[in-house]
Structure 1
Amino acid sequence: MESPLMRTRSAVRDAPSEEEFERLYQATLESPSYERQVEDQFILLATGRLGLRSGEVLHFLSGDNKKWIDRESKQLKIPHHVACGCRYCQEQAQQAVETKPERDFEHIIDRYWKPKYSPSARAIPYDWSARIVEVVERFTDLIGGFNIAQSTLNRRVNTLHERAGISGNTYPHALRAAAACWWANRGMSSPNLQAYFGWKDMRVAEAYIRLSGKELQKHVSRLLDQDPEVPDVDGPEPQSGEHSRPRYENETETNNMSLLEVEKHLEESDVVG
């Protein structure tokens, strides 16, 4: 029987590549209205580069706008709590009641909205990209926030996916995984990666970094820099008919294990929310 882990759709496997992400952005330019274009661009960049969760996107600017954005320091601020009774919060509260009927709906809804974990209340810099600055501040000024359900957000992303003509699946959490891969590939450290994405468990950040190969690459470079006398790093040229490098036993399985490790941490400690 297939395990629950293997049945779970992997945000890491579904994360769009950098080229596919740019195609998704170009797809926002075909949105049916200017307001919809502004919203779609914010959804895409907030999840796929700034690393916001669905709930954070849907509640951005809820309540006091100053809790969410500091234009002077160019930071998004994810607050610890915002009083809210939007469609998303009502859906979440209703699901909680259905899971445990002894809970009172009114008591639960009073707790919404809050980020997934305590470390998820965080500051996210957005001044590193002129395009992101423009999109975030234009959304703030023109749209001022969402009042849509999670299912609507999913459909918005799926529409961009279809319009961009890319393969596989694209959904908000896959875009967040793309952001994590993007920063890990650029060498962000695990403590900063954890702070940026608001993960409770440092191992999620470490798994993304292992997947990127950047730490190993830097380690190998340091070793070679420290010992310039290392002889014949590349080894002898392969003879005709030989493989260019040896094929190690269980090589594919070892590579896949690191990816499954990321998926396991995502499933256990970073599901959509």
Structure 2
Amino acid sequence: MREEWVDWRRNMIVVPALQACRKGEGDGVCGYCRAQASQMADADEDLTQADAEASMWSPKTPAAAREIPFDFDPRASLAIERFFEDHDAWPHSRAVVNRRVKAAAEAAVEIDSGSIYPHALRATAATYHAGRGLDMLPLQSLFGWADLRTAQSYIASSGENTARALHMIHSR
């Protein structure tokens, strides 16, 4: 994530569909991305090395290129603001994120650190938002899922949604 992804006026993180790698020397392409771009260019005669390097980073799926609002919770807004006070990007790999989450979970009291990892935290957030009543399409958009059934499964498994619906029909 880079600060240039943040639209501060609209309080949105805008995940791009493509972005050039700048993790190498002098904000250039890193060795891994250069090698990947070389393989892509070798396999496609219409693609130059420079064009391949210019689009090395992309989200996991096309649906993952999206706008993510963060002003729904003042704590989320504050965390993003504080992060970018010290950094202009997250310069580390997914493995670094995994290690930091693992270290934080191991340091926490009364938590099974083996069950805490980034994807589990993401699933917890999806469960939370589904339980709060976020509809299927906004939930899919928020999490960048390619398949609407993923959002549907979180909503369907929410006991809070069932309880809310029961309270609505029985409190008339």
Give the TM-score normalised by structure 2: 0.76
Structure 1, unpaired ranges of 5+: 1-59, 227-273
1:38-49 to 2 correspondence within 5 Å? none
1:104-183 to 2 correspondence within 5 Å? 109-165=53-109, 166-167=111-112, 168-183=114-129
- Between the aligned partners of 2:90 and 2:147, the Cα distance in structure 1 is 29
Q: Do the aligned partners of residues 153 and 75 (structure 1) sit closer, same or farther apart at CA in structure 2, a change above 3 Å counting?
A: same
- Aligned Cα root-mean-square deviation (Å): 2.9
Q: Is the 8 A contact 2:155 2:161 kept in 1?
A: yes
Question: Which residue is 2:23 aligned to?
Answer: 86
- Give the secondary-structure state (helix, strand or coil) at the position aligned to 1:141: helix
1:195-210 to 2 correspondence within 5 Å? 195-210=141-156
- Between the aligned partners of 1:151 and 1:90, the Cα distance in structure 2 is 17
1:56-67 to 2 correspondence within 5 Å? 60-61=1-2, 65-66=3-4
Larger Rg: 1
Q: Is the 8 A contact 1:85 1:109 kept in 2?
A: no
AA at the equivalent of 1:111: S
Q: Deviations over 1:86-136 (max 9, x none)?
A: 38x8658878999x9x858x5765432111222211111111222221210
- Between the aligned partners of 2:31 and 2:157, the Cα distance in structure 1 is 37
Q: Do the aligned partners of residues 189 and 108 (structure 1) sit closer, same or farther apart at CA in structure 2, a change above 3 Å counting?
A: same
- Between the aligned partners of 1:208 and 1:135, the Cα distance in structure 2 is 26
Q: Do the aligned partners of residues 95 and 218 (structure 1) sit closer, same or farther apart at CA in structure 2, a change above 3 Å counting?
A: farther
- Between the aligned partners of 1:169 and 1:95, the Cα distance in structure 2 is 33
Question: Which residue is 1:243 aligned to?
Answer: none
- Between the aligned partners of 2:135 and 2:116, the Cα distance in structure 1 is 26
- Give the secondary-structure state (helix, strand or coil) at the position aligned to 2:157: helix
Structure 2, unpaired ranges of 5+: 25-29
Name which of 156, 162, 170 aligns with 1:216.
162
Which protein has greater RCO, CA pairs closer than 8 Å, 6+ apart? Answer: 1
Aligned residues with identical type, % of pairs: 33
Question: Which residue is 1:77 aligned to?
Answer: 14
Q: Do the aligned partners of residues 172 and 220 (structure 1) sit closer, same or farther apart at CA in structure 2, a change above 3 Å counting?
A: same
AA at the equivalent of 2:97: L
| Residue 223 of structure 1, CA deviation | 4.1
AA at the equivalent of 1:137: E
Give the TM-score normalised by structure 1: 0.50
Question: Which residue is 1:246 aligned to?
Answer: none
| Residue 169 of structure 1, CA deviation | 2.2
- Between the aligned partners of 2:33 and 2:98, the Cα distance in structure 1 is 15
> For this pair of structures, how many residues does the alignment match?
159
Q: Do the aligned partners of residues 216 and 152 (structure 1) sit closer, same or farther apart at CA in structure 2, a change above 3 Å counting?
A: same
Q: Do the aligned partners of residues 120 and 108 (structure 1) sit closer, same or farther apart at CA in structure 2, a change above 3 Å counting?
A: same
- Between the aligned partners of 2:100 and 2:36, the Cα distance in structure 1 is 22
- Which ranges of 4 or more aligned residues in structure 1 deviate by more than 6 Å? 92-98
1:22-61 to 2 correspondence within 5 Å? 60-61=1-2
